[in-house]
Amino acid sequence: MSRRGSSVAHEAEATPGFEGVPPELIGHHFSSAARQNEAMRLGMWLFLATEVLLFAGLFCGYAVYRFQFPLAFEECSRHLNIPLGTLNTVVLITSSFTVALAIHFARTDRRRASAICLAITLLFALAFLGIKSVEYLEHFKEHALPGKYYSSEEVKVPGAAMFYTLYFLMTGLHGFHVVAGMSVLSYILFRTLQGRYSSAYYTGVELGGLYWHLVDLVWIFLYPLLYLI
Amino acid sequence: MRLSEADSPRLAGAAAPAAPSYLTDGTTVMSWLNTRDHKRIGVMFLAAVLFFFFIGGVFALALRIKLLQPGPFLVDALSYNRLFTLHGIVMIFLFLIPAIPSAFGNFLVPLMVGARDVAFPRLNLASFYIYVAGASLAIWGMLHGGADTGWTFYTPYSSTTPTQVFPILLAAFILGFSSILTGLNFIVTTHTMRAPGLNWMRLPLFVWGIYGTSIIQVLATPVLGITVLIVAVERVAGFGMFDPARGGDPVLFQHMFWFYSHPAVYIMILPAMGVISETVCAYSRKNPFGYKAIAMSSLGIAFVGFFTWGHHLFVAGQSTFDAGAFGILSMFVGVFTAIKVFNWVGTMYRGAIAFKTPMAYVCGFLYFIVFGGMTGIALATTSLDIHWHDTYFVVAHFHFIMVGASVMAFLAGLHYWFPKMFGKTYHEGFGLVAAALIILGFNATFIPQFLLGNEGMPRRYYQYPEHFQALNVASTAGATLLAFGFVIILVYLVIALGWGKQCEANPWGSKGFEWMTASPPSTHNFEEIPTITQMPHDYRTHEPPGVIRGT
């Protein structure tokens, strides 16, 4: 019966790398900092899974309507501003790199460098939103808008309105996530400046970074689907 | 009335000066509204879901009274449509989905795994307030006209009807977040907060049930979120994703909707199965027969539940192959359920059964889940479903599962854990009378509906041919009995709460892990975190379930 009696529970305590964590950073209900870190990371990964499934609904809609209107989707895709889309992809991937650097610096106790990297990430995020609004403005001028508002002269194939419905829903939801990610990163920047993270405990930076990588990852799927194929 | 004193495991550490119970530790309103304590949050959820159960029940009774007459009666056709829509929305989103996980799960999962709280107490409180916000929005929508789409919001009707669908869609979206956060919390709690010695194969079966439920909540709810969001955008801005006039496909909505809403049925039934696994052991005074089979079949249902949604679309233009595949996959749920039923009956076999109120509900549950489950297998058979689709046969089938099974389990849990939660006992005699009334009333309500559906009476119709009246009257009579039973429960539970006798820590002599601590527990659950040395419900020894050895 007592095969592996108390294995799981004590493994976490034995995990190295969580010595010297200030006790006020550990919740009263957690037996150790390692356990708290494990719980928070698992929670974040689960939350990311829900985000993936949130977008999955739209990806599913994209697949269905792409098969239904292959011509319209190709035409509209070619009418998007590919250079700006590509630039945005580069901006976002670079921001993923800077956030990874911020985690690295937090882990090695270089608080200032970590804060600077977070600030740069935020600037990249702003740049992404700026470029995206330029694109949106173009669509508004062309009346390349979703559903019943679509009256563009450029593409007149049936199904073009559906492409723009999906385009605006997907990039809009993604844009919302960029804004959400920015508020998360600002909070972490604020806490970094307060000196709440150290090599002993930097779970917050790690979680914020994870979230930002997801925002980046979703765009990496959106970019080829909307602009390239 | 109580099991003998010698059998009842003594509370470990009872001699130490007791910390105040969670109920008395802070008595101001703010100490409740701003609490991080999983037990208080569980109790607040319990109060909220009971309130909405009452509202949904009133809607149901109004519907049944209208259906006494084949022609127009009491309400007009539009109000009738609103009534059944609101009945569905309230009962599903505001009662059944949060009922067992958010109320009992919150209260019990940390106690059962020997933790001081759930992993994310603040998120837990947020989940409650998100629920309150969603519920308030839904009520606002109801008071300002309500919706008449049915709880399924099928497009294109839901994107064009002039009733107040928008606030209700938004409410469903918001309530989804509450459900996701609760599920996420339980998964992380089960993974990381277990007491020393509590490995996975010693987890109480209720925790296994909640764990399976949480997986569904976390993975399916976001899809509903995005679906109702698209419909909401469609109503406001005319994006046309599901609108055939703009090249959209309304059947795509049905696919996306049921991708959540079929697994949602398992959000309602899996925790109920967990409650039954606990109560059947406690009142048979026997360890669970086939522990692993019950635990794994919970995961099996959670898994296969994701691949059954197509059985709602047998007549929506789905290919024959798809229909066959979804039909067979749906039947797998029946296999897993049958495994559980077999093991519950195996647990009762040669047990020392104490026929208390919860045990009466367990018996009701077993009968309802077998009957409801078998009609489910019949409905998953495509050729039969074409005849029964959208008739009262379907209505009776899912009420057998959702009310017959889930609500019976909810009531079993409510009675079994009432002493745990409030430290009071209810009147056993009234409890048994109410259980008998409810089980009989339920049969009288829904067996006529099976017959009506088989004769071809469609669901959601305002009027019906006169020759269906006799069975409809029988159904309404049953619903009255059912309502009467619930009123009795309300009365004696309120009396027990206000004037009931203080009971001992473990009045049932149960060896479930939640009884390791005082009833009601103190704010931090345990004086010391217990070390688990045995399986839950091990009645072979007289020792208490968890032995405190210090950590």
* Interface predicted TM-score (ipTM): 0.89
- CATH architecture of the domain B29-516 equals Up-down Bundle (1.20)
Q: Is A47 on the interface with B (CB under 8 A)?
A: yes
CA A62, CA A166: separation in Å to the nearest integer? 7
Among A10, A31, A147, whose Cβ lies nearest the Cβ of B237? A147
Strand, helix or coil at B120? coil
pLDDT-based confidence at residue B539 (cuts at 50, 70, 90):
confident
What single letter denotes the amino acid at residue B307? F
A26 backbone dihedrals φ, ψ, rounded to 5°: -105, 130
* DSSP output for B302-347: HHHGGG-GGGG-TTTT--HHHHHHHHHHHHHHHHHHHHHHHHHHHH
In percent, the amount of chain B with pLDDT more than 90 equals 79
Q: Please write the tens of the pLDDT for every residue from B36-75.
A: 999 999 999 999 999 999 999 999 999 999 999 999 999 9
**Shortest Cα distance, chain B CAs vs residue A113, angstroms:** 30
Residue in B with minimal Cα distance to A72: B247
Pairwise CB contact (< 8 Å): A9 & B184: no
Nearest CA in chain B to A173: B226
Q: Please report residues of A whose CB lies closer than 8 A to that of B196.
A: 6, 9-10
The answer to whether residue B227 scores a pLDDT higher than 50 is yes
What pLDDT is stored for residue A17 in this prediction?
62
Confidence band (pLDDT; 50, 70, 90) for B5? very low
Decide if B551 and A31 are in contact by the 8 Å CB cutoff: yes
Measure CB to CB from residue B180 to each of A31, A50, A148 and give the nearest one.
Answer: A50
Average pLDDT over residues B410-422: 96
Question: What pLDDT shows up at residue B15?
Answer: 43
pLDDT band at B238 (very low <50, low <70, confident <90, very high): confident
Shortest distance between the Cα of B32 and any Cα of chain A, in A, equals 19
Taking contacts as CB-CB distances below 8 angstroms, the residues of chain B near A27 are 117, 121
A-chain CB neighbours of B180 within 8 Å are: 50
Closest-CA residue of A relative to B179 is A50
Neighbours of A14 (CB within 10 A): 8
| Ranges under pLDDT 70 in chain A | 1-17
pLDDT at B7 over 80: no
What does the alpha-carbon distance between residue A132 and residue A141 come to, in Å, rounded to a whole number?
14
| Average pLDDT score, chain B | 91
Q: What are the CA-CA distances from residue B159 to residues A149, B242, B354 (Å)? A: 17, 9, 54
How far apart (Å, rounded) are the C-alpha atoms in residues A113 and A99?
11
Residue B17 confidence class, pLDDT cut points 50, 70, 90: low
Long-range pairs, A142-151, Cβ under 8 A, ≥24 = A144/A76, A144/A79, A146/B237, A146/B239, A146/B240, A147/B234, A147/B237, A147/B238, A147/B239, A147/B240, A147/B241, A147/B243, A147/B246, A148/B238, A148/B240, A148/B246, A149/B237, A149/B238
- Rounded Cα distance between B493 and B81, Å, is 34
**Segments making up each domain of chain B, as ranges:** 29-516
Ordered DSSP codes for B516-550: GS-SSPBTTS-SS--B--S-TT--SSSS-SSB---
| Residue among B135, B125, B132 nearest B86 (CA) | B135
Give residues 133 to 152 of A whose Cβ lies within 8 Å of B. 146-149
% of chain B with per-residue pLDDT over 70: 95
- The Cα of A199 is separated from the nearest Cα of chain B by a number of Å equal to 22
Q: Write the pLDDT tens digit of every residue in B477-486.
A: 999 999 999 9
Name the token pair of B187: 């998964």
CB contact under 8 A, A53 and B241: no
Burial class of residue B98 in the structure, from the number of CB atoms within 10 Å of its CB (0-12 exposed, 13-18 middle, 19+ buried): buried
Q: Is the pLDDT of residue B371 over 50?
A: yes
Q: Which residues contact B79 (CB under 8 A, 6 or more apart)?
A: none
Band of pLDDT at residue B544, cut at 50, 70 and 90: low
Query: For chain A, where are the alpha helices, taking DSSP H only?
Result: 7-14, 33-68, 70-79, 82-107, 111-142, 160-194, 203-223
Q: A70 — contact with chain B (CB < 8 Å)?
A: no
Q: What is the pLDDT of residue A7?
A: 41
Cα B339 from Cα B333, distance rounded (Å): 10
Of B239, B255, B535, nearest to A165 by CB-CB distance is B239
pTM of this prediction? 0.92
CB-neighbour burial class of residue B430 (10 A; exposed 0-12, middle 13-18, buried 19+)? middle
Say how far apart CA B408 and CA B427 lie, in whole Å: 18
In which band, very low, low, confident or very high, does the pLDDT at B19 lie, cut at 50, 70 and 90? confident
Tokens of B3: 């099991």
Option in A9, A64, A169 nearest B252 (CB): A64
Contact B239 A50 (CB under 8 A): no
Beta-ladder partners of B424: B502
CA nearest to A41 within chain B: B188
Range 152-191 of A in CB contact (< 8 A) with B = 158-159, 161-162, 165-166, 168-169, 173
> If residue B254 lies in a helix (H) or strand (E), which one and from where to where?
helix B250-284
Q: Per residue in B213-222, is it b (16+ CB within 10 Å) or e — as a string?
A: bbbbbbbbbb
- Best probe of the B interface among A13, A165, A169, by most B CBs < 10 A, is A165
Q: Nearest CB to A35: which of B185, B192, B226?
A: B192
> What is the spatial distance between Cα B114 and Cα B528, in angstroms, rounded to a whole number?
10
Q: Answer whether B192 sits within 8 Å of A28, measured CB to CB.
A: no
Taking CB atoms and an 8 Å cutoff, what residues of chain A touch B549?
A: none
Query: Of B271, B302, B340, whose CA–CA distance to B100 is shortest?
Result: B271
Q: Which domains does chain A have, with CATH numbers?
A: 42-228 (1.20.120.80)
pLDDT, mean of residues B256-276: 94
* pLDDT for res B18: 63
Q: Which pLDDT score is estimated for B503?
A: 87
Q: Which of A42, A57, A169 is facing B192, going by the closest CB pair?
A: A42
Is the bond leading into B121 cis (omega within 30 degrees of zero)? Answer: no
pLDDT-derived band at B230 (thresholds 50, 70, 90) equals very high
Q: Which amino acid is at B296?
A: M
Q: Is A12 on the interface with B (CB under 8 A)?
A: yes
Q: For B132-172, what is each residue's pLDDT tens digit?
A: 999 999 999 988 988 999 999 998 889 888 888 999 999 99
Show Cβ contacts of residue B243 under 8 Å, excluding neighbours closer than 6 positions.
A147, B155, B156, B159, B234, B250
Chain A to chain B Cβ contacts (< 8 Å): 143
Cα B39 from Cα B524, distance rounded (Å): 10
Which residues sit opposite B547 in a β-bridge?
Answer: B531
Contacts of B191 in chain A (CB under 8 A): 38-39, 42
Among the partner-chain residues B197, B221, B247, the one whose CB lies closest to the CB of A9 is B197
Q: Which residue of B has its CA nearest to A146?
A: B239
* In contact, B161 and B173? CB cutoff 8 Å: no
| Residues of A with Cβ-Cβ distance to B227 under 8 angstroms | 57
What span, in angstroms and rounded, lies between the C-alpha atoms of B540 and B9?
12
**Cα B276 to the center of its chain, rounded Å:** 12
Rounded-to-integer distance, Cα A122 and Cα B519, Å: 51
